[in-house]
Chains A and B, each alone.
Chain A
Amino acid sequence: MKDKDREKFPELVDGKAVIDLDSQKFLKVWQGPQHPGVTGNISLEVTLSGDEVVDLKTHVGYLHRGFEKLMERRKYLQCFTIVCRICVPEPDTNEYVFAAATEQLAGITIPEKAKWLRTLTLEMARLASFLMWIGGQAGALGMGTIAQWTVAQRDYILDLFEELTGGRVYHMYIVPGGVRGDIPDGFIEHVEKVMKGVEKVLYDVDIALLNNAIFKMRAKGLGYISKDMVDEYGIVGPNARAAGLARDIRKNSPYLIYDQLDFKVITGTKSDALERTFIRFQEMVQCVSLIRQIINKMPKNGDYHTRIPNPLHWKIPAGETYVRAEASRGEYGYYMLSDGTEYPRRVQVRGPSYTHAIAVLEKLAIGTNLADLAALMVSLHTCPPEIER
């Protein structure tokens, strides 16, 4: 991918290229807000020398709605309706982390069955997010059929969500105190049927994508993340696991009922785009197995919601906390500070793409081909709505 003859490329000083725009050897190109693999809008201002990127600057802010300011104007229970819209492909992680932070500050414990239902929802959301992602990764390298298969199968998971919660995309199911409703009759059989369909699609994707010679050639060596970059840039999730570090919040600091489930942390060695695809694929298979374990081990009877005070008069005691969860992209966290009134004082959302899509991308893109830039961005699993809330 890189030329052996480096004379015509600018020299690198401290990792940044020395560029003289007036010398007519460089071209500035704007890769605009729409990207077919990324669920959101982000712009890249690319400086090219021939076909190779020498400098990159990201521009975010197309989806900024000012969530943190809006949440200060709404009571705690009114907040949870807008919280799920922070991340579009995987809204349940937001709901869970907000509910967990509120419960921690208020000192509420939730019943056992609610924990199992929450875990089921989280795992289904992870699977749906991964299915959307792999379509984007394949499409960015030219293979459009994979997206048709996986997005169609993801639709059946959205049907399951509709049966459970009432909404396809935004569920508002996980509330402070438990969940909003119990599983309906016949739900377990539907889940099993959909999991069989997902396994079939994953088998097809394995043949068509992971054994594809072109994909392997283009994604090899793309966006190499070294081990010391991981802590300096705050890289989390499958990106860090591909670099060789076994970090998974579900194993390290277990929340909900993950300590009763049987799964391994999947790591890799080579840490390029190809390895990240392999790891996410194996995590998809792991999600299917986890969902099957959950529906087999879930208790049949039990409360799904605990008594909380009157939500219109609910005052949370003063304090601050930080709660995290493992989303499909990495560590998702909320910092919440309350001052004893009915309105939250400050809620700050930390999405995994906050560090991945800005600082890491600007470092990794130097030296890649322009044609592979979109694939690099998708292989870090960029999701712009959570960068700018």
Chain B
Amino acid sequence: MNDILKRLSERFPVSNIVHQRENMVFVTLQKINSIPCISYLKEFEGFTHLVMLAAVDFIEDGIFQLTYILHNYKLHTDIGIRVKIEREHPVMESIHTLWAQARTYQQELKEMFGIDFPGSPGIDEPFLLEGWQNIPPMRKDFDTLKYSQETFFPRPGRKSYDPQKYMKQKLYPDKEPE
């Protein structure tokens, strides 16, 4: 694994290398270098299996982090590539020419986060939601409890307890609540 990383850092500017497990590494790349790096890993280093493409919303930093996870079946190692893209108009290059299965992941990310992958087949068709007229639901500024209480009819009488506060009150009933 270390010599793969050495060869990779000679060719591309990788940063923030984290060895999560014995055979799993996460690296960060810039958006402009990420697709050439992924193609290099697929063609020359044997990472032929695209495991998943995930997106994480960091609303406080104003970015989305895309994570591409690739797997090498000969060495049984994984590599995760983190790419940060901006949150206002999120656009990323599509990898459906490398892996035909990627178009499903990209379709879902467009619907759930709003990240556009121009050129991906079927990118604008609704995938999981039907008749959805709100902001993409997996973003952090979408409050799912509020939406559910307003749109659907919650049955009255449901009480929710914060487990911490409840246990504190039960165990120490004389103490002042903080």
List chain B residues, Cβ under 8 A from A315.
none
How many whole Å from A86's CB to the nearest CB in chain B?
14
Task: From known contacts A234-B101, A312-B167, infer whether A319 and B20 are also in contact, taking CB-CB under 8 Å.
Answer: yes
Task: From known contacts A69-B137, A319-B18, infer whether A350 and B51 are also in contact, taking CB-CB under 8 Å.
Answer: yes
* Chain A interface residue number, banded: 35 or more
A325 within 8 A of B: no
List chain A residues, Cβ under 8 A from B51.
234, 322, 324, 331, 333, 350
Q: State which of B49, B100, B129 has its C-beta within 8 Å of the C-beta of A359.
A: B100
B56 within 8 A of A: yes
Q: Is the CB of B138 within 8 A of A68?
A: yes
Q: Is the CB of A321 within 8 A of B20?
A: yes
In chain A, residues 332-389, which have Cβ atoms closer than 8 Å to a Cβ of chain B? 333, 335, 337, 345-346, 348, 350, 354-355, 358-360, 363, 388
Stretch at the interface among A59-67, A159-167, A285-293: A59-67
Q: Is the CB of A320 within 8 A of B26?
A: yes
B67 within 8 A of A: yes
Q: State which of A104, A232, A252 has its C-beta within 8 Å of the C-beta of B73.
A: A252
Bound-complex Cα distance A104 to B164 (A): 25
Task: From known contacts A232-B99, A247-B73, infer whether A346 and B129 are also in contact, taking CB-CB under 8 Å.
Answer: no
B7 within 8 A of A: no
Q: Which residue of A lies closest to B125 (CB)?
A: A57
Q: Is the CB of B144 within 8 A of A70?
A: yes
Task: From known contacts A61-B128, A61-B129, infer whether A322 and B80 are also in contact, taking CB-CB under 8 Å.
Answer: yes
Q: Which residues of B contact A (CB under 8 A)?
A: 18, 20-21, 23-24, 26, 48-52, 54, 56-57, 67, 69, 73, 76, 78, 80, 99-101, 103-104, 126-130, 137-138, 142, 144-145, 163-164, 167
Q: Is the CB of A73 within 8 A of B127?
A: no
A313 within 8 A of B: yes
Q: Is the CB of B144 within 8 A of A233?
A: no
Task: From known contacts A69-B137, A73-B144, A232-B99, infer whether A320 and B20 are also in contact, taking CB-CB under 8 Å.
Answer: yes
List chain B residues, Cβ under 8 A from A7.
none
Bound-complex Cα distance A68 to B167 (A): 27
Q: Please count the residue pairs between chain A and chain B whose beta carbons lie under 8 angstroms apart in the complex.
A: 90
Q: Is the CB of B144 within 8 A of A66?
A: yes
How many whole Å from B141's CB to the nearest CB in chain A?
12
List chain A residues, Cβ under 8 A from B69.
322, 335
Q: State which of B26, B48, B144, B163 has its C-beta within 8 Å of the C-beta of A312.
A: B163
List 10 contacting pairs A-B, 8 Å CB cutoff, sorted by A: A61-B127, A64-B128, A66-B137, A231-B99, A232-B100, A234-B49, A234-B99, A322-B51, A322-B78, A333-B51
Task: From known contacts A253-B23, A345-B56, A350-B51, infer whether A69 and B99 are also in contact, taking CB-CB under 8 Å.
Answer: no
Task: From known contacts A61-B128, A70-B144, A322-B69, infer whether A253 and B76 are also in contact, taking CB-CB under 8 Å.
Answer: yes
How many whole Å from A225's CB to the nearest CB in chain B?
13
Q: State which of B99, B145, B164 has its C-beta within 8 Å of the C-beta of A73.
A: B145
Q: Which residue of B lies closest to A347 (CB)?
A: B54
Task: From known contacts A69-B144, A234-B99, infer whether A320 and B80 are also in contact, taking CB-CB under 8 Å.
Answer: yes
List chain A residues, Cβ under 8 A from B49.
231, 234
Bound-complex Cα distance A335 to B56 (A): 11
Q: Is the CB of A359 within 8 A of B20?
A: no
Bound-complex Cα distance A56 to B130 (A): 20
Q: Is the CB of A312 within 8 A of B104?
A: no
List chain B residues, Cβ under 8 A from A358.
104
Q: Is the CB of A232 within 8 A of B101?
A: yes
Bound-complex Cα distance A31 to B173 (A): 60
In chain A, residues 65-100, which have Cβ atoms closer than 8 Å to a Cβ of chain B? 66, 68-70, 73, 75
How many whole Å from B59's CB to the nearest CB in chain A?
11
Q: Which residue of A lies closest to B18 (CB)?
A: A319
Q: State which of B26, B78, B128, B145 has its C-beta within 8 Å of the C-beta of A60.
A: B128
List chain A residues, Cβ under 8 A from B129.
61, 64
